[in-house]
Structure 1
Amino acid sequence: MSSTPFSRPGAVDLSALQAPVGGASPGGHGSYVLEVDEANFQSLLEQSMSAPVLLVVFSATRMPESLALADELEALVNSYEGRYLLGRIDIDAQPGIAQAMQLQAIPLVAMVLQGRLQPLFQEIPPAEEIKALLDQLTQQLASQGMAGRHQPLSAVATAEDGAEAEVDPRYAPAEDALIAGDIDAAITEYEKLISANPADVEAVIGLGRAQLLKRTADVDLTMAREAAAAAPDDVDAQIMVADLDLLGGHVEDAFKRLVDVVRRTAGDDRDKARLHLIELFTVIGDDPRVLKARQNLASALY
């Protein structure tokens, strides 16, 4: 099983690191899975314009193990808390969709991004291989500025009923720089805002997120994880994987990694890990996961 690298420059949606306006927070337990039929298929594809949509095509009667694959993907996708939306297509119930997709075999797992379908695999790999693929896809997409997050399906209708949030024009230059892929310019713009008003919380959060993108640019996820595994007390290696975890949406994993480093180190190494963890708290902002990690950090320190 292999994935295809992405080479699309452009828009950065840092909403991936915050709760969507009017929706559930990333720490919630909403579902990101939809049983697809002809009535909702098009609207599902339209949601791929903001963040990737995964499709799993299965048949419980022709290949029961393909249903098990769909169930496994459902659990995995929900664990990414909005990084992906999963559409489950039962071809026994939806032959019209299968015909429209010109399906040759089942199962099929594909990704739809900005309306374009890309097959990922057609076998039934172990769950750990699927997770590794999704981790890699998440990293590749984020490194190209595609880090959007779906709202839980149960929250979509509520969000659509509310007024659309307006973007504060003060942050437009920084956001425009991110959209253009100029992270350094975005950092400069956020620093200007903070210099003018050190209490500007949104600018502080924006700066932290832009710096996170800069630190992780062009970093190979697999190599970084291997380096961290080989040297558990190498603080820099652990910090890099924590950054990548945060960028990939694995917030609790990032926090836990650095709390563990603080717990088993001392002196300058401990301070470095502690200060970086506090910086990551700033990136996430007001979130229950931050409160829990702060409590764990205090326990590790004292």
Structure 2
Amino acid sequence: MAGAVDLSVLKATAEGRHAPRGPTRARPAPESRPDAGQAGAPTGSAVIDVDELSFETEIVERSTRQLVVVDLWAAWAEPSRQLSPTLASLAEASGGRWVLARVDVDANPRIAQAFGAQSVPTVVALVAGRPVAMFEGAQPADQIQGWIDEIFAKAGHLLPELADEGGAPEPEQDPRMAAAEELMNSGDMDGALDAYRAIAQLEPNNVEAASVVRNLEFVTRAQAHDPDVVNDAAPGDVDAQLAAADVLLLGQRPEAAFDRLIDLIKVTRDDDRGRARARLLELFDLFDPAEPFVVAARRKLATALY
């Protein structure tokens, strides 16, 4: 869960312009909007366009009653033109379960700044006035749907309708997942890993199985390293530095682990650099991409590469 967005400047702007306090009508789509001109483009209350004037009402206040997914887009960004219609279609198909709030970052740069967006498109989900998840770039519809389902599973209890019903209904547990979890709880990590891998291979969109596989693979690998490698690894020794990063991360020191790999990228070339970069991206995937130390490390990586 990310921290609260700094809304003070935008709120003051809205109040100074006498922003309406109730629900506002969605504004007509400008011609530059990603889905403009496309036959059958989704319209209606499931998709709204938001600016600084309506930001507090249509995003912050609305998120106390309903999941709000914010699409920070720009007309010049081709990934936005791919992603925005997909998000709109999913919002329409949700039957009011969540709403898509589209924000043109060129016309409303302070909204993008409030969310700390580093690229376009950036998608942020808000529940109870707080951002709870985000991703960057175009994604296929099935992955976005899985992302939204996970948000409801983890944060849906904060929404009034679900809270009144005692929280989101518990889905029936997959017996294969239950069996794999039992193996893990009993200490059979190899057996659990094989079981989760089998599920992930059969169901590429099973977010939970894929996540457990990533974590178990990392823990298994990291526990096999000699902890002394953190101090003994030579600066240019790729294998040793990869191992050192694993040990640091296993010891709950993600910033140090990321920095170790970024330093390795700076002093290596070709295949060795590719191995270091691939390992760093693999470690990023173990965390929420909105974590501040992940965001900071991605910036350092971009500097090291370019």
Smaller-chain TM-score bracket: 0.3 to 0.5
- State the structure with more CA Rg: 2
Tell me the TM-score normalised to structure 1 length. 0.42
Tell me the TM-score normalised to structure 2 length. 0.42
Report which structure shows greater RCO (CA 8 Å, sep ≥6).
1
